């Protein structure tokens, strides 16, 4: 994935569509688009794509959006499989639904595809650096269903992707305001997902109306609902994490993000509007996370794997290790050594995760070449996407409410791996070391494919259980008898 990303960067830089990046650590800083706290331009749609949302367009069953109509709409992929929508809120931050990551919080497995351009310019795929689910997200009730995703490289100001505006006040527009939803979600309940972005206008509904329609499962403190009580127009499975935006009128209208698609009872059913996480009430948490000092978070695996401990002198705390040095109360010299050790330890755990990831890729490749083997088939779905019950609140109080496994529950497709021409390594700084790393990794772990697949499933979970599922999720799976 890193190799593909590096090649992509080199190609765009050769075409002068983006500035030429330096390889590896430190990550790039976008020159114009700012991450908070500096507010940059936001919420501006590309000319020619505005006012195209038809009053009765719908995601369920409806209308395709023109290319580039929603420059902040992104797609989240787990192991190459599109799983959720997301919204670009700053140069390197995407806001999405926390339930998208239930069962798969390993950042190494996720990528984000940015919006395509208004003239169909190709969408860019960026690796994920860090996933920050809201600490109070409750997977049982979908309370606080929000997560921030930090991109490995910030979006280029020269590209088509642009951030949306975040609400500046805790208040939302009044009930009845026509807002917009967009995504690649299902065209109807349990139906196929859209090939292109779809959009719809939906009115915000009052908390009372939402409560009456959806019962106690609707928590107005962190959820709002929008749609038509008559049914027919709604978001659906696969739209989760995507935007609910309302236009702020004025000489330069801007789109402000008030909701993130979270859940629903069916799709477009009469009396059952869609539910969205209220973004305005999380304003402080969002600011805090996005403007946190660079090393106030534990380094991500992606950061640690980009760091080469052999090249860093021990005397100065290596950038990704600075976090551990801050935690240490002792004298500076001793602390630096301790921080370095802790850092190396975590890096080793990350290498194991990354090995698990490589193993998965190898298995995918093998499955493509030789067809599925029984043990592999059993292992793969659990790794490529969260289980279906994690895509909707598992049990909501009203017994009429149904679960919607979504179209992907039926089977798992493995995307074709693109082979990268070795010749391109010349003239692409940073690519050759990545290719060498891959070759070494493939050499060291060739034994993996010799292990019988049944044993492999067991070994895999032993290697990195926390990377894929928590013990409670395992217990939940066992209860529900799912793979």
Binding site for ligand ARG (CB under 6 A): 185, 234-240, 261, 263-264, 267, 274, 391-392
Tokens of 137: 């997200």
Distance CA 145, CA 137 (A): 5
In the complex, what is the shortest distance from the CB of residue 128 to ligand ARG, in angstroms, rounded to a whole number? 18
Q: Is 240 a catalytic residue?
A: yes
In the complex, what is the shortest distance from the CB of residue 134 to ligand ARG, in angstroms, rounded to a whole number? 16
**Comparison of 79 and 274: residue with beta carbon closer to ligand ARG:** 274
Q: Which residue is nearest to ligand ARG (CB)?
A: 264
Q: Which of 5, 35, 92, 99 is catalytic?
A: 99
Find all residues with CB under 8 Å of 394, minimum gap 6, and list them.
139, 140, 403, 476
Name the DSSP class of 193: B
In the complex, what is the shortest distance from the CB of residue 211 to ligand ARG, in angstroms, rounded to a whole number? 16
**Comparison of 84 and 114: residue with beta carbon closer to ligand ARG:** 84
Q: Is 99 a catalytic residue?
A: yes
Please report which helix (H) or strand (E) contains residue 325, including its range: helix 322-327
Distance CA 457, CA 435 (A): 28
Q: Is the alpha carbon torsion for 128, 406, 233, 69 positive or negative?
A: positive
Q: Which of 12, 240, 247, 453 is catalytic?
A: 240
**Comparison of 108 and 236: residue with beta carbon closer to ligand ARG:** 236
The residue behind tokens 């239930």 is 102
Distance CA 129, CA 231 (A): 39
**Comparison of 264 and 464: residue with beta carbon closer to ligand ARG:** 264
Please report which helix (H) or strand (E) contains residue 333, including its range: helix 332-370
Find all residues with CB under 8 Å of 208, minimum gap 6, and list them.
none
In the complex, what is the shortest distance from the CB of residue 34 to ligand ARG, in angstroms, rounded to a whole number? 30
**Comparison of 35 and 392: residue with beta carbon closer to ligand ARG:** 392
Q: Which of 145, 234, 239, 392 is catalytic?
A: 145
Distance CA 142, CA 145 (A): 5
In the complex, what is the shortest distance from the CB of residue 200 to ligand ARG, in angstroms, rounded to a whole number? 10
Residue 94 to residues 99, 258, 261, 338, 452: CA-CA distances in angstroms?
15, 14, 14, 34, 40
Catalytic residue ranges: 99, 145, 240
């Amino acid at each position: 994935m890193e190799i593909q990303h590096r090649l992509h960067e080199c190609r765009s830089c050769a075409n002068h569509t983006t500035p030429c990046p330096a390889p590896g650590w430190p990550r790039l800083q976008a020159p114009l688009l700012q991450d908070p706290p500096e507010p940059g331009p936001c919420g501006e749609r590309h000319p020619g794509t505005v006012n195209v949302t038809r009053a009765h367009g719908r995601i369920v069953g409806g209308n395709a959006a023109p290319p580039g109509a929603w420059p902040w709409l992104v797609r989240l992929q787990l192991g190459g499989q599109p799983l959720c929508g997301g919204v670009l809120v700053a140069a390197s931050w995407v806001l999405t639904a926390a339930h998208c990551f239930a069962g798969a919080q390993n950042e190494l497995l996720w990528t984000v595809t940015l919006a395509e351009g208004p003239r169909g310019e190709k969408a860019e795929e960026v690796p994920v650096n860090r996933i920050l689910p809201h600490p109070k997200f409750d997977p049982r009730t979908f309370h606080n269903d929000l997560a921030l995703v930090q991109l490995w490289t910030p979006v280029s100001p020269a590209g088509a992707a642009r951030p949306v505006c975040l609400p500046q006040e805790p208040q939302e527009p009044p009930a009845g305001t026509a807002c917009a939803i967009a995504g690649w979600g299902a065209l109807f309940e349990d139906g196929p997902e859209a090939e292109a972005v779809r959009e719809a206008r939906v009115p915000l509904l009052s908390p009372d109306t939402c409560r009456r329609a959806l019962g106690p499962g609707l928590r107005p403190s962190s959820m709002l609902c929008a749609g038509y009580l008559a049914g027919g127009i709604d978001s659906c499975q696969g739209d989760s994490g995507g935007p609910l935006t309302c236009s702020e009128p004025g000489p330069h209208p801007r789109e402000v993000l008030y909701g993130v698609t979270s859940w629903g009872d069916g799709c477009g059913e009469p009396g059952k509007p869609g539910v969205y996480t209220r973004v305005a009430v999380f304003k402080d948490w969002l600011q805090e996370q996005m403007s946190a000092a660079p090393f106030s978070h534990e380094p991500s695996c992606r950061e640690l794997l980009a760091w080469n401990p052999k090249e860093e002198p021990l005397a100065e705390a290596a950038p990704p290790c600075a976090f551990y040095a801050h935690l240490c109360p002792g004298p500076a010299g001793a602390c630096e050594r301790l921080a370095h050790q802790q850092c190396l330890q975590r890096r080793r755990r990350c290498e194991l995760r990354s090995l698990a990831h490589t193993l998965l890729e190898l298995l995918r490749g093998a499955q493509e070449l030789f067809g599925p083997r029984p043990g592999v088939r059993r292992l793969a779905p659990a790794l490529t996407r969260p289980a279906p019950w994690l895509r909707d609140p598992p049990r909501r109080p009203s017994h009429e409410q149904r679960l919607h496994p979504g179209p992907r529950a039926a089977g798992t497709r493995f995307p074709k791996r693109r082979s990268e021409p070795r010749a391109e390594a010349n003239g692409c700084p940073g690519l050759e070391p990545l290719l060498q790393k891959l070759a070494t990794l493939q050499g060291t772990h060739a034994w993996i494919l010799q292990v019988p697949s049944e044993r492999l499933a067991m070994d895999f979970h032993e290697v990195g259980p926390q990377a894929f599922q928590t013990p409670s999720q395992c217990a939940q799976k066992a209860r529900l008898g799912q793979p």
